[in-house]
Structure 1
Amino acid sequence: MNAQMEAVKKKMSVLGKSAVTSREYRAALIKHLREAVPFDGACFTAVDPQTLLSTGAVTEEGIEAIHHSLFENEYLREDFNAYDLLVKADDPVATLHGATAGHLERSARYRNVLLPAGFGDELRAAIMYQGACWGYLTLFRSHTQPLFREDEREFISSLVQVIAFNLRKRSLALPFEESIGMEEEPGILILSDQLTILSSNVVADQWLSLLQKWECIDFPTLPRPVRAVCSRALSVTSTAVELASLAKVCIRIPEGPYLTIRASRLSGTSTTVHLIVWFEPAKPSDMLPLISEAYGLSDREKQILAHIVRGLSTKEIAHSLHISAYTVQDHLKSIFIKTGVTSRRELNWHLFSRFSVHRDK
């Protein structure tokens, strides 16, 4: 590894310890990476580790113009280096020229999106930590520039876990100012299959405006989380109804608590496809998987935490999970250590005050 790459690693170590938001961290990381691995465009998307859908992206200007086409290709087309496959790969970092054996034109994404925009090779990284994915990093090179080298791909691969660790940590960060209140009424948005807004209520308009402000995009560009759940909903066929539940993202916005965004196809007598999108305060069933992943809880610890939020006693939890009360207590001690509390009472207060987790009514 050359001196420049080592210098960038040191800068990233300092960045990881700094008190910046997820978006600020991703923007700064792109800047540092460019010093060691030259590229002509970048997109760094944070994702919900449960559904692998975007919760917001930092996208450079040259990529913003083709971002909608990249989304469509990712969710509605089969192509090389699909992110849902990189998540499952032994090495979650790959280049387009490597995947196509040097024949970029084999990729529809290259032919239809990248090349017309002046781009050539592409490097993709699924940002993985302890089996969970926290983001997607994509670097692009102009078609006039050299392909990504293997040592550059290996360098990005060596950074994946530390980047994911820092994204995970920032998913639990509290807002700097007092949180805004959640509207009780759901936001409702109706869109065409081309993701054109057809109608909306006032609450949906408020959420759209807030998300656009957060992502630094202008109206009428759809925020990435909305685009992601819609694209997932459009990809669900009548033979894959069970996937419809995955057209959902749980997101912690900087100015408030957790928000759930869901999308679904609308059916009717018309052959025209319409989509409905809901914006709602997240339920414990939406929040707890994300919070549990962020704290690095084991599968059994996640189950116990869910039971604690429901108000079950140690004896009731033991009976429900078919384990002894002593085993429950051992898992509780581990949960306390990972979440930084010392008792069940403090854990419940922590979940309520920090994340607004309360029992479902």
Structure 2
Amino acid sequence: MRCVANTGRMSRGECSSIRAASDVGTAVELGAVVSQWVGRVVPHEGYMLAAVDPVTGVGCFLAREHGYSQAAARRLIVGDRSDGDHPYPFDRRARQSRVGVFNTDAPGLRRNEAMRDVMLDQGVGSELRIALAHAGTMWGGLVLLRPRGARPFSADESVQAQRLARDIVAAMRRYAAAAPPEPSGLALPPGVLVIGTGGGAIAAERVVAATPSAREWLDELGTRPADALTTSDPPVESIVWILTQTVRTTDKPAMTRVPTKRGWIVLNAQPLTGGTDVAVTVQPAVGTDLLPAMAFWHGLTPKERAVVEQVLEGLAAKQIARRLEMSPHTLNDHFKSIYRKLGVSAREELIARLLR
């Protein structure tokens, strides 16, 4: 998709359109809308929009088009991490939006020689990277690409891109909050995958074993190729790959929660003992698994989240007010705000949704 340039600033109508445009069905559609919108100010050939779980910092949905191949993108991620000092990480370390430009030939930030070769091999001449953070929380990142021979991204375009970050975050949050505030309704047993390198590079990890239900769970994520688990050597779905990379980097279990049309899914990964393989489970996100991330996406305040936590413990209103040291009137105001933000009408509906 080639985006249309606009050298002027965005009108109020254009800025509000990105918020309304996040009423889309899939992350892929969201990415296309964001790319078109950003392209009015910062034209580009390809893009990758990635969101992270705001609690764990692990990727939870993404979209890309006309950019790096999946294999090349993974090589760059692994290579950038191996440098140990990437200036624009898409993880929870960043607390404010930042923009950087990587060029292969023109002035700008430079990757190491191996990673520069990946860019050259993919025909990329300039990459503009936006770390999307707002209100002290990291939400993800947007990568824009131009081919070799095209004009590199300019300092002015970097400034313009940074100004758009807040509205991009708003669009991502609106998309995630549109998912039903409840566990996924996909009626399947949990999916289990075993991810291994097969003796190859980490960037080329493969699914070495999977339960039958794993295929449908990965379909529900909406970003893997249709035949990804039908080959004898299937590639790892992007979100699963990011999750397993987190496990390998930290040597600790990792989690991410993904919004879908049918509700929320949780993916958990942990290293298997006695080897290098990583086990990943995919299932509905229920109750205490669901609430922390959903509270961020829906904009619940810390007090509102605490109220919901007490509700899930089965406490009555008087007990909640006493435990949280607030008056019944204040508690009632919190309940009204919670119901409005989550689109429910009563305490019973709230419990039924989160614990379905």
Match of 1:31 in 2: 36
The 5 Å alignment of 1:94-133 reads 94-96=100-102, 102=107, 104-107=109-112, 110-133=115-138
**1:111 Cα deviation from its structure 2 partner:** 2.5
1:83-94 residue pairs with structure 2 within 5 A? 83-84=90-91, 87-89=94-96, 91-94=97-100
Change over 3 Å in CA distance of 1:12–1:26 after alignment to 2: farther
Question: Is 1:135 matched with 2:149?
Answer: no
CA distance in 2, matches of 1:289, 1:186: 21
Spell out, residue by residue over 1:223-266, the C-alpha distance to the aligned partner (whole angstroms, 9 max, x if none).
Answer: 221111101011014xxxxxx34x21111222x22111111111
1:279 aligned residue: 282
2:69 to 53, 64, 72: 64
Match of 2:231 in 1: none
The 10-residue stretch of structure 1 (297-306 or 7-16) with the greater mean CA deviation from structure 2: 7-16
The residue type paired with residue 248 of structure 1 is: M
Name the counterpart of 1:240: none
8 Å contact kept, 1:57–1:215: no
* Unmatched 5+ stretches in structure 1: 238-243
SS of match in other structure, 1:331: helix
Q: 3-state SS of the aligned residue for 1:260?
A: strand
Residues in 1 aligned to 2:256 and 2:92: alpha-carbon distance in whole angstroms: 19
TM-score, length basis structure 1: 0.80
Q: 1:204 to 1:93 in 2, by over 3 A?
A: same
Whether 1:81 aligns to 2:88 is yes
User: In structure 2, what is the Cα distance between the partners aligned to 1:113 and 1:10?
Assistant: 39
**Is the aligned partner of 1:318 residue 2:321?**
yes
Task: Write the mapping of 1:285-296 to structure 2, written as runs, cut at 5 A.
Answer: 285-296=288-299
What is the TM-score normalised by the length of structure 2? 0.81
Q: Distance in 2 between matches of 1:4 and 1:218?
A: 42
SS in 2 for 1:55: strand
> 1:280 Cα deviation (Å)?
1.8
| Letter paired with 2:349 | W
Compared CA separation, residues 35 and 217, structure 1 to 2 (3 A): farther
RMSD, aligned α-carbons: 3.0
In structure 1, C-alpha distance between the alignment counterparts of 2:211 and 2:219, rounded to whole Å: 13
Query: Which of residues 159, 166, 175 is equivalent to 1:170?
Result: 175
Decide which of 257, 263, 288 is 1:257's aligned counterpart: 263
- Residue identity in the other structure for 1:225: I
Name structure 2 gaps, 5 residues minimum: 229-233
What one-letter code is carried by the residue in structure 1 that aligns with 2:208?
L
Greater helix proportion: 1
User: How many pairs align?
Assistant: 332
Name the CA distance, whole Å, in 2 between partners of 1:174 and 1:47.
16
Which residue is equivalent to 2:47?
A: 42
Displacement of 1:273: 0.9
Question: What is the CA deviation profile of residues 200-236 of structure 1, one whole-angstrom value per residue up to 9, with x for unaligned ones?
Answer: 111112223443x545565234222111110101101
Assess if the C-alpha contact under 8 Å between 1:86 and 1:92 holds in 2. no
> Kindly tell me: are residues 302 and 80 of structure 1, through their superposed partners in 2, closer, same or farther at Cα, counting changes over 3 Å?
same
Structure 2 matches for 1:196-235, cutoff 5 A?
196-211=206-221, 213-215=222-224, 218-219=227-228, 220-235=234-249
The 8 Å contact of residues 311 and 351 in structure 2, kept in 1 or not, is answered as no
CA contact (8 A) 2:191 2:214 kept: yes
Please give the alpha-carbon distance, in whole angstroms, between the structure 1 residues aligned to 2:313 and 2:118: 48
- TM-superposed CA distance for 1:164, in Å, is 1.0
Identity %: 25
